[in-house]
Amino acid sequence: MRTKPVLLVIAHGSRDPRHAATVHALVRRVRSLRPGLRVETGFLDFNIPSVHGVLESLAAEGVRDVVALPLLLTRAFHAKADIPAVLRDAPPQLRIRQAEVLGPSPLLLSALERRLYEAGLSPADKSSTGVVLAAAGSTDPEAIAVIAETAREWRRTGWCAVRPAFASAALPRTEDAVRELRELGCARVAVAPYVLAPGFLPDRIARGAAEADVLAEVLGPAPEVARVLLERYDAARRPALAAVGA
Q: What is the pLDDT of residues 154-201, one digit of tens each?
A: 999 999 999 999 999 999 999 999 999 999 999 999 999 999 999 999
Prediction pTM value: 0.94
Determine the pLDDT at residue 2: 63
Burial of residue 37, with CB atoms counted within 10 A of its CB: 0-12 exposed, 13-18 middle, 19 or more buried: middle
Closest CA to 149 of 127, 169, 133, 171: 133
For the chain, which residues score pLDDT lower than 50?
1, 241-246
Dihedral angle computed from the Cα positions of residues 162, 225, 70 and 72, in that order, rounded to the nearest 10 degrees? 20
Determine the pLDDT at residue 78: 82
Q: Cα 214 vs. chain centroid, distance in angstroms?
A: 21
